[in-house]
Structure 1
Amino acid sequence: MRARHEIGVTFSKNQLNRLLKVPNITTFIGLRDLGIMLTLAHTGIRLKELTSLHTQDVSFEGKGAINVQRAKNRYARRIPLTKRLRAVLSAYIKERGVLDTDFLFINVEDNPISPRTVQQRLKHYGKVSKVDKEVNVSPHAFRRTFCRLKVEAGTNIFVLQRLTGHSSLEILRRYVEIYGTDLEEAIEKGFE
């Protein structure tokens, strides 16, 4: 028998917006945390990739991009910035200033932020926004949400594979099966 494959929980757009509204961006930690959540939400980046980012991995030339150098499969990739992510990361890097460490996301002691701290901060925002009562708030929920939203928007699966760094199309195929809109569009074709 074939094993049944499912996709973990994702955020609705409403839940994602509720999470992104919580950080107090007038503080360094709030601005950093918004930058972290937006980077996760707008790039589909993995937690380890996020905590391994350096300031020089973010480019604001043209439309801007994040260059993931330390990827799970060891293949570097370029992820273009959305307008909102570009604005938040620009403000965060300006606030962060020039330091001895070149890690992008840092804690208040100017050390690289740990994956565990990111997980704890996300749990905190899940609790404050009450999203945690509906969905488990985790870095991977952001990644799954990114994939789902891109599939729903009709993004080509090969482009999505390049953005997310998936080595195989198998995982992305599951998203297309569940969230793809091509069946709804195809069913009416020929009957117009």
Structure 2
Amino acid sequence: MEQKKDLKGRNLKQGESQLKDGRYRYRYTDKYGKRNTVYAWKLTRTDKTPSGKKDGLSLRELEKEIERDESDGILTHEAKNITVYEMIFQYFETKPQIANATMQNYISMVNKNVKSNAIGRMKVADVKRSDIKKFYAYLYKEKKFAVSTIQVYQNIIYPAFQMAVDDDWIRKNPCKDCMKDYVRGSLTSTRYPLTRQEQKALLEYVKDDNVYSQYYTIIAFLLGTGCRISEALGLTWDNIDFENASVYIDHQIIYKKVLKEGGAVRHYAEPPKNRTNRTIPLQKEILNIMRKHKQQTYFMSKASGCEVDGYKDFVFLNRNLKLYTPNTFTRALHNIRDTYNRMHEEDNEVMLPDFSAHTFRHTFCTRMAENGIDVKVLQEIMGHKTIAITMQVYNHVLEGRAEAEMQRVSSALVV
């Protein structure tokens, strides 16, 4: 049988053909016996897209994606045959426990602003993270919605896409971290700490969770000392004085390219930021947590062989007995937040905002200011270069107190 060729005389593979309008077509049968078809204006990546036609992946690139999806069990055809709007309502059907009034509000919001928007008409398989961010930018800039309202849309759309991930329609959730630019003051230069309720909820969840309990000690330490993450990662057991209940910060561990070594990426040690060697008193509860952590990990740390520029016997190592990298630790924090929020989205519990390791430092500083610690002492503990940085936190706390006090005495005012 003579092999098929395209209009340029190139051989076509089984399932490939070229239509009269110049488009290429690939037909295939998936593992469920369903016939599917994809189209492209190019056969290979190096072909030029015809003038006036929308550029996209070539047919051969699409075929590779199909092969990869089939190999990994991704049901591409499902995601390509359902819109975002339709998927959200499928998700709603899986949530009978949502109060009727809440569900009616969700349905109204989706009908008003998702159905009529391009995002609602997009096929699930075609949605990228940038599409979600554009939709939220539209809600913020054009609809003038408050950040809290945009967060409600995220609380609807995110789990709907997560359902698609869990059902193997798509590989990853395009909504992940899309609220990062909006939540908790990220649109301004203000850094917001965790509230007391959020801090308590986070620690209780991480402590008892089978997956994330490995991060409990380092999170508690960061919240209880205000250390920078680079200082905590560099901490060795020699830095902790259990007898005098204190920790001495004299170095930090950085993970980045070392130009002198040809741009290799590795951990290396350097003095603390602003060269602020300092001693931080340890609260009794943190001291007890660290004692228990030492009993569980000290000998593993010594046996790990992990050493950076002469420093060894590190306090915080991952399960592979290696130092954390900033990216892996940040990713773990995001996963903790996302998993916690999914578990509590229907029970009116405290929801966790976007947070990072630096959030813990700012939270510690805020708790100290709330309890009236001397500002100069707090500057020394935090290792701030100038007292002005510390005063920013104090001023924020004082503003909150002033508002609370005015509300408390408002009934006594005669106006």
Q: TM-score, normalised by structure 2?
A: 0.40
CA contact (8 A) 2:340 2:352 kept: no
2:357 corresponds in structure 1 to 139
1:81 corresponds in structure 2 to 282
Inter-partner Cα distance in structure 1 for 2:401 and 2:206: 39
CA contact (8 A) 2:278 2:380 kept: yes
Shift of 1:182: 11
Inter-partner Cα distance in structure 1 for 2:393 and 2:206: 30
Shift of 1:75: 2.4
- Which residues of 2 match residues 25-40 of structure 1 at below 5 A? 30=213, 32-40=214-222
- Range with bigger deviation, 129-138 or 77-86: 129-138
Question: Structure 1 or 2: larger strand share?
Answer: 2
- Which residues of 2 match residues 156-171 of structure 1 at below 5 A? 156-171=374-389
Aligned residue pair count: 182
1:17-56 per-residue CA deviation (whole Å, 9 max, x = no partner) reads 11101224697972x4111111110111111111111111
Report SS of the residue matched to 1:166.
Answer: coil
2:334 corresponds in structure 1 to 123
Q: TM-score, normalised by structure 1?
A: 0.82
- Which residues of 2 match residues 60-71 of structure 1 at below 5 A? 60-62=242-244, 64-70=245-251, 71=272
Report SS of the residue matched to 1:97.
Answer: helix
Report SS of the residue matched to 2:274.
Answer: coil
Shift of 1:134: 4.6
Shift of 1:152: 1.1
- Which residues of 2 match residues 5-16 of structure 1 at below 5 A? 6-16=189-199
Inter-partner Cα distance in structure 1 for 2:208 and 2:297: 13
Report SS of the residue matched to 1:176.
Answer: helix
Report SS of the residue matched to 1:104.
Answer: coil
Max Rg structure: 2
Inter-partner Cα distance in structure 1 for 2:369 and 2:286: 20
1:91 corresponds in structure 2 to 292
Structure 1 residues 149 and 85: CA distance shift in structure 2, 3 A = same
Identity %: 23
